[in-house]
Structure 1
Amino acid sequence: MKQPLMITQEHIERYDVSGPRYTSYPTADRFVEAFDAAAYVKAAEQRNISNWTQPLSVYVHIPFCASLCFYCACNKIVTKRYEQGAIYLNYLQRELNLHLNKFSQAQAVNQLHLGGGTPTFLNDDELTSLVDMLKKAFVFNQEGEYSIEIDPRTVNQQRLQHLRTLGFNRLSFGVQDFDAEVQQAVHRVQSYAQVETLMQQAREMGYQSINADLIYGLPKQTPATFRETINKITTLRPDRIALYGYAHLPSRFKPQRRILQDELPNAVDKIQMLSEAIQQLMQAGYVYIGMDHFALPDDSLAIAKQQGRLHRNFQGYSTMADQDILALGVSAIGKMGATYSQNAKTLEEYYDFLDQGQLPIVRGLALSRDDLIRRAVIMAIMCHGELSYESIELSYMVNFRDYFKSEIQQLADKQKQGLVVLEDDGLKVTEMGWYFVRAIAMVFDRYLQHDANRARFSKIL
């Protein structure tokens, strides 16, 4: 019988620290206002000059929510004024037109993601208008991945069918937790039966992949209650499960001030929830993709991991390796070549830019050679759990052991802790190391090593 992992109190105390999730490197907090719309345009022009034909990934941010979830750290606007949806679509069209003017030819798209907020805040006609807008702008690959985040409280069978008719083939359900007391504590009440019915209907409609988001570390959660939530979600058997640790940052996110600190589980309970959840999900047949993602063996995410094609972007783990991301909407983050860019974070500022006929990009970053090298290292660790020194040396013409001499020395301590295995030609993350993979990646983060203030990040446990 397989021996259980021996995660000690020393592990918990040492690694109960703040750190990035590495959906990008450098992380978004390193973006600068010196990178503006003009810098983005140069990156788009470079794509034209190089005649880069790899399809785009398109992200659209819909910020509106009808009700407030206390745990939420997303950029959202809580409102019952549904007429705001039509106004917002008008501005999305303006922004899209500005982007299209920068490209010399029609762009292919093989990945679309609608996030929020709550994308299903928009009514059926508005969602139709949005999809029509995008289909007129781009050439959509028939075999692409087209996903939308849904709040089970805002959809029914008819809405699911409408989304399927529009071409969406992937759904992401915001579940978080099935325990009634936890749901009350975070102001998001939805029944198991409601989610079960919607998932079954979605399968019957032919959706290729269904994801469920869960969060551990919420107020009033215990290992016992979360164990029951995992039992219920495995009964529903979504194709993918995203298991996030709750990031309690009330100084940054005002809604979280409604959560009582005393009701939050401690680090010991959180690691027990994570440990038991991983074991339960793997026993139920899920593949551990890494950090916060699980998938059934026949899901494209699990296949991508098996084939070494796994990637990580602003939405988490992805099968689409290193694609340019065209981002639309307030606060949306895009990637073009070796640059990142982010739109204005407030609706007023976003609208104001577009009223002036300007792209609403307010900050971003042009990656240096060192950024690119370190990004490759961090993504290899986060996505594959192993790193070949030779692959970095051949790609970037560096001597890995010289370039990362200090980092290799720091990893020696993590090897003693049982988190990594250092070899002559590379490193491997151990089974235990996956619990602390963010801490391993942090060793290679040049910005973080010189940063005394990490409190803006969530705890890695």
Structure 2
Amino acid sequence: MQYHDHDGSHYLTYPDAARLATGDGPAALTRALAERSPGAPLALHVRLPFCRQACRFCASQRVPSRDSRQADPYLTRLDREMVLVSRLLGRLPAVQRLHWGGGAPAFLSLDQMGDLFDRLDARFGLSGARGRDFSIEIDPREADVFTLRHLQALGFNRLSLGVQELDLRVQKAINRVQPRVLTESLVDEAERLGFHSLNLDLIVGLPLQTPRGFGETVEQVIAMTPARITLRRYAHLPERYRPQREIDAEDLPDAATRLAILEAARERLDDAGYVHIGLGQFARPDDSLAQALGEGRLARGLQGYTHYPPGDQLGLGVAALSRVGDTLARNALSLADYEAALDASQLPASAGYRLDAVERLHRDAIEALACRRELDLAALSQAHGLDAGAALAGALERLAPFCRAGLLERHGQCLRVTPDGLWGLTHLLAAFDPQATPVA
């Protein structure tokens, strides 16, 4: 049985966003926004789905395009969505957390980026405080030093660069040839400009990947000294994601090879002093994530681990997710449906779901294990006003094999994740998900 694996993309929401059924999304999101506490902070996530090149590992709703001017109609509708939402929110405190994802946000021209930032500020009010967390995902092939200078001038202070793999054979197999010097030049410029946090993304399980080759990639990335390094797992689902049909399944590493790749990466990151936060996220000891973990205040948002307290997050753009109170909402997955809703002056949420009492219990159990590495059933019972041990009896039974395998320890009402268990954390979290696929 393969316990030692990970995938940080799972359980950013519970239930998983992929299982959100279509329904009256606008009504669900409208109700959730209306029920928010006045003055409560709100984080913003903006999806910019455009990219010039189709990476074969892609598992996102992306819009292929060569000309940034083709994004203008989308940006116009994005502003329309902002207007509709801001009318429901009323007065907000200055937004401290902003994230631009995609796609490749740097696909936009500098003028388009500036205009979008100004519109967000006009509709919601963006913070200029030093403690703000304004992050953006960057494809190094789409950006240069002038891009970074413009982003820094706008107010962004955290970058996530998509490296994926530095082995040229693998890069060709996934249609993402990206010379190391390209990434290094951006890393050096980001440091010079004073971006307070830099994350480099790597993917495990790509075609033609080997433990030795990926180990060399990890060593080269460590040499760039980023504050954070993320290991993501490639999931081969060609029936769902068209670009993946270009990948030859016979070139994919098997489970044993993937485990060897992970173990080699783990050893190198440990030797370099990086702290394993969990779910493939690593951070230097001086980074805010490592500090939050040590102080017991780590949380999870829709983009992964954060040192900010959990709170409401609003997604803007096609396929964007929102989490407001106990409600999850997802915008239309297709660009056509997204545009049609906004052209009709309707919120583009195509699905909305409000968690019931049992689901909130499961959500909080997942959050406790993922962020604090332990679950106190007595505290959970008190917080939810019920017997958590009885309500989670099925989950606790599913966790028994992990206890025997040494990934989890149970001491009375308290369960603790072991260091080895961090590498099987996805499976531990899945025990609290009745609809999860059993470990194979």
TM-score range, shorter chain: over 0.9
Matched, 1:287 2:275: yes
Match of residue 233 from structure 1: 221
CA contact (8 A) 1:412 1:422 kept: no
Q: 1:36 aligns with which of 22, 25, 33?
A: 25
Deviation string 1:380-414 (CA, Å, 9 cap, x unpaired) is 11222211112201110122222222322332222
* Shift, 1:434, TM fit: 1.4
Match of residue 73 from structure 1: 59
CA contact (8 A) 2:278 2:370 kept: yes
Matched, 1:195 2:168: no
CA contact (8 A) 1:110 1:140 kept: yes
Q: 1:157 aligns with which of 145, 163, 183?
A: 145
* One-letter amino acid of the counterpart of residue 185, structure 1: A
| Alpha-carbon distance between aligned partners in 1 of 2:380 and 2:295, rounded to the nearest angstrom | 19
Deviation string 1:309-345 (CA, Å, 9 cap, x unpaired) is 1112221112223211111100000111110111111
* Shift, 1:18, TM fit: 10
| Alpha-carbon distance between aligned partners in 1 of 2:279 and 2:29, rounded to the nearest angstrom | 31
CA contact (8 A) 1:54 1:108 kept: no
| Alpha-carbon distance between aligned partners in 1 of 2:134 and 2:6, rounded to the nearest angstrom | 36
Q: Percent identity of the aligned residues?
A: 38
Match of residue 8 from structure 1: none
Deviation string 1:93-135 (CA, Å, 9 cap, x unpaired) is 1000000110222343111000000000100000000000111
Distance 1:170 1:95, change over 3 A: same
CA contact (8 A) 1:58 1:327 kept: yes
CA contact (8 A) 2:13 2:302 kept: yes
Match of residue 7 from structure 1: none
What's the RMSD between the two structures over aligned residues? 1.8
* One-letter amino acid of the counterpart of residue 405, structure 2: Q
What are the residue-to-residue correspondences of 1:165-176 with 2, within 5 Å? 165-176=153-164
| Alpha-carbon distance between aligned partners in 2 of 1:302 and 1:17, rounded to the nearest angstrom | 19
* Shift, 1:306, TM fit: 1.1
CA contact (8 A) 1:242 1:293 kept: yes
Matched, 1:124 2:113: no
Gaps of 5+ in 2: none
Q: 65-74 or 403-412: which moved more?
A: 403-412
Q: 1:115 aligns with which of 101, 104, 119?
A: 101
What are the residue-to-residue correspondences of 1:123-272 with 2, within 5 Å? 123-141=109-127, 142=129, 143-272=131-260
Gaps of 5+ in 1: 1-10, 449-453
Match of residue 55 from structure 1: 41
* Shift, 1:31, TM fit: 1.3
CA contact (8 A) 1:63 1:118 kept: yes
CA contact (8 A) 2:4 2:423 kept: no
| Alpha-carbon distance between aligned partners in 1 of 2:41 and 2:254, rounded to the nearest angstrom | 44
CA contact (8 A) 1:310 1:383 kept: yes
In structure 1, the residue corresponding to 2:329 is in which secondary structure?
strand
* Shift, 1:85, TM fit: 1.6
In structure 2, the residue corresponding to 1:212 is in which secondary structure?
strand
Q: 1:442 aligns with which of 414, 430, 436?
A: 430
Q: 2:10 aligns with which of 14, 18, 21?
A: 21
What are the residue-to-residue correspondences of 1:331-342 with 2, within 5 Å? 331-342=319-330
Match of residue 304 from structure 2: 316
| Alpha-carbon distance between aligned partners in 2 of 1:294 and 1:106, rounded to the nearest angstrom | 33
CA contact (8 A) 1:288 1:295 kept: yes
Q: TM-score, normalised by structure 2?
A: 0.96
Aligned residues: 438
CA contact (8 A) 1:60 1:327 kept: yes
* One-letter amino acid of the counterpart of residue 40, structure 1: L
| Alpha-carbon distance between aligned partners in 2 of 1:369 and 1:401, rounded to the nearest angstrom | 15
Q: TM-score, normalised by structure 1?
A: 0.92
Deviation string 1:337-378 (CA, Å, 9 cap, x unpaired) is 110111111111111111111110110211111111100001
